[in-house]
Chain A
């Protein structure tokens, strides 16, 4: 790795760290303005003023704001988000396993998207304006325009009941326990998300591949006598898939939020369900962790995209503005 590349990577890592810092501060600020306070959450509305004061002192909520902020940031650095107000468990032990499950769902969705959307997008671009192209593009538009709860419900109806009902209707089995069952349970929620993400990724792949295939260097390759399959794989893909990488990373962020509904429908014990409950209960530490951890994952995904980009396109480090 040369020097310009190192500088580039360093810059990206610094940017990611700064974003992480800003996000954590924003999360702290938002939870401060959220209506309702922790003491009343714990004690209920009928609590006496003294009891509230006592609880606040116990939780450290009567200290000045800046002190709470510093404690909060120190907590973040040590991955300690405190104790849940409702369940009295350490927040990390509640959020982390669920985050991992949601992450699995997101990863499976991304995996399914990559293996379907990219080849289909490439085919659509290659056969531009043909029947195949129309079929591929219209069907993905359809998938995108149906809300995820409808898709999810339909999938649930078709694949868990009646003649095709060979899949379990929901829940979660750890991968370490039974891989097949894990896959069976994760497949449907992942599929209902894939249908949506796929449309974006496919559209991007198709349009950037079309642009690439019309570029002058593809003409150069063909006029060198390079066969069509080599033109596609050796010359076009690497350049044509660049924008797709960004779209994948952005959609990963979207997935982290969009899973809530799908998790609910498939009774999938992910982070979405936890956040919904935490918000309802004003369980601030859980909300903070539940928002921050997926945000960090999103920032990390974008950092990865940037690194993949440098690997795909040798020009990046030079034209880095």
Chain B
């Protein structure tokens, strides 16, 4: 190794194995994993849950749980042996030279210390700054660096007084405060809204060009890697399966797993039939011989099942490697998502329709509302929405826009403040007890977190039988028959009947929740972020399942999601919500093509694409969503709108008006005229295209 190589390489992880001892054996979380990272380089580690990507990050800073250890291999940071470093050495490396920015900033920041205290603590530890004035000055400087508005004032605040995006910036500020040589970002944007995520990624881009910090970016989100990483390593079940430059790996994946992962990820504007990856990630306490992906792989042959599979060089020049015996076949005949078949269903009669629906709720206690200023949260204001038979309507918007509240209010899980809801042309408020029971059986809901929505003390069979007992008068044998039928339809094994929810994977749990919702043949199901907590490969299979079930039963869905690509892949019509109002509505193709509401356009432009060469001029929204207790006057979006035209936006509330040619299906509430909405000013053609 030459001198320059040594100077240039910041981090070298060589063939490490990480083991965790658990009550009944050893879990081999990472096996033979090597990573190297140069100065100023950004390396993305991609992987689904259980791939060991966070374990890798924690192994680098030597912070594995007490039952885990690196059993083999070496980790060298700037030439120093991390595995044998003393406690003092580690303390000075952590925070000083390697900064670890954890996911979920709301949990990773200390709730009882101000942001400023948490940043200056790090500064005082690692830099020659002793006076509190100097530390404070540096703190404000770093907060400014991560684009936190009004840094001096913000540094006095506690974490709960910041928005999610600001908290993540504050985490990053702690990391950057000591000018580290290596920045580890562990799922930095998970849990952030797309608009917030986009701004955070911009910030990382800026920092990359400004400083020479090496970045290790760990995420399940391939779009994020495609957007900011230079190279990518794909991790599957504790093994590195593919390595290479981002452009190379995304355009020319040489490993079946990478290909499958790309084919299963929904993409905006790309019409593709999502291909779920069959099977599930293997248990890591009993590793089978041969290729770890073999049992889920389309290319697998007998040879894949024995021996150890080595990394094969795909391209020496690019440093592109793949751990696959059949990588050549995989490249020449890749797994690709096919175009999706044209929707085979036609919407029928109106099932549920809401007219001028309002849902306000109070915060604070009785005393505050009676004796002090009383401002209710205007979660849903004046929403009109119709869902027809066997139709999927998507409801999309940032967190806090009122989409979940709307979904629940429509099902009468909340009382309405004002307006009307009709189910099959019958006003809900006029239903008697029996009719309401009937309505409950006709309209079901599926939640984001399946584990929390299934009773942990009941078997799967009991869980699915419950609605059958409640809503039908079927005798026990018929109920059992229906359960068998449902379990089969959900592609769940028969053995699942007697299991308990905690014994199932997240995807299986969500299938059970779907089976339960379908048990009594409902006509409408509200799906509240049904795939948000699932891995992409599982997400695709759930979305496909929902599609099949709709075609078979003619059920209508209201799909609530923050993820536009999920909405695009399964919905017929879409409503975009902002601050409790629907600001655009239309068929899916109308929503995803111009003319756009400026808000919809910003949402669409915020999503990182899977194509690393694509270079679209970004639209970024300023600031955060205003409080729903005190929404802005006029058009509620005017405070952040990049296309604001003037006073009219602040004074007059625009109405939803048809922009389409004939049938009034595409409506936008905006003061811009047709031409202005139409003109795609912010779209810049890709210079390489």
Contacts and interface: CB of A to CB of B under 8 A. Distances in A.
Q: Which of A7, A11, A225, A318 has the most CB of B within 10 A?
A: A225
A224 B111 contact: no
Given A224-B94, A225-B92, A239 B110 contact: yes
A315 B110 CA distance: 11
Contact of A225 (B95, B102, B110): B95
Contacts of B90: 225
Interface stretch (B302-310, B365-373, B662-670): B365-373
Given A7-B368, A7-B372, A315 B111 contact: yes
Contacts of A314: 111-112, 158, 160
A313 B112 contact: yes
Contacts of A318: 160-161
Nearest to B57: A223
B61 A223 contact: yes
A219 interface: yes
Interface residues of B, number: 34
A125 to B, nearest CB: 14
Contact of B107 (A217, A225, A315): A217
Contact of A312 (B92, B96, B112): B112
Nearest to B110: A217
B104 A224 contact: no
A226 interface: yes
Contacts of B174: 220, 224
B270 interface: no
A206 B79 CA distance: 41
B108 interface: yes
A219 B94 CA distance: 11
Contacts of A319: 160
A280 interface: no
Interface string B78-99: 0000000000001111111001
A50 interface: no
Given A315-B111, A320-B365, A223 B160 contact: no
Interface string A150-171: 0000000000000000000000
A131 interface: no
A223 B107 contact: no
A160 B104 CA distance: 59
A239 B365 contact: no
Given A11-B365, A314-B160, A224 B125 contact: yes
Interface in B83-141: 90-96, 99-100, 102, 104, 107-113, 121-122, 125-126
Contact of B113 (A14, A223, A235, A320): A235
Given A217-B111, A239-B110, A314-B112, A223 B104 contact: no
Interface in A198-235: 215-217, 219-227, 234-235
Interface string B221-258: 00000000000000000000000000000000000000
Contact of B93 (A216, A225, A227, A315): A225
B95 A224 contact: yes
B63 interface: yes
Contacts of A315: 111-112, 158, 160
Nearest to B126: A225
A276 B109 CA distance: 53
A217 B109 contact: yes
B91 A216 contact: no
A238 interface: yes
A221 B122 CA distance: 9
B108 A234 contact: no
Contacts of B100: 220, 223
Interface in B626-663: none
A234 B113 CA distance: 9
A179 to B, nearest CB: 37
B96 A215 contact: no
A228 to B, nearest CB: 9
Contacts of B91: 225-227
A313 B125 contact: no
A21 B254 CA distance: 76
B495 to A, nearest CB: 34
B63 A223 contact: yes
Contacts of A220: 100, 102, 108-110, 171, 174
A244 to B, nearest CB: 14
Interface string A284-321: 00000000000000000000000000001111001111
Contacts of B111: 217, 239, 313-315
A224 B111 CA distance: 16
Interface in A2-43: 7, 10-11, 14
A312 B110 CA distance: 12
A238 B110 CA distance: 10
A222 B122 CA distance: 10
Given A225-B93, A227-B91, A239-B110, A216 B367 contact: no
B361 to A, nearest CB: 12
A10 B371 CA distance: 12
B63 A219 contact: yes
Nearest to B94: A225
A129 to B, nearest CB: 10
A222 B112 CA distance: 16
A141 to B, nearest CB: 25
Nearest to A220: B108
A215 B92 contact: no
A226 B121 contact: yes
Contacts of A223: 61, 63, 94-95, 99-100, 102
A50 B687 CA distance: 113
Contacts of B109: 217, 220
B481 to A, nearest CB: 46
A223 B95 CA distance: 6
28 contacts: A7-B368, A11-B367, A216-B104, A216-B107, A217-B109, A219-B102, A219-B108, A220-B102, A220-B108, A221-B121, A223-B63, A223-B94, A223-B99, A223-B102, A224-B94, A224-B95, A224-B121, A224-B122, A224-B174, A225-B125, A226-B121, A234-B121, A235-B110, A239-B110, A314-B111, A314-B112, A314-B160, A318-B161
Given A224-B95, A315-B112, 6 more contacts: A7-B368, A217-B110, A224-B121, A225-B92, A234-B113, A315-B111
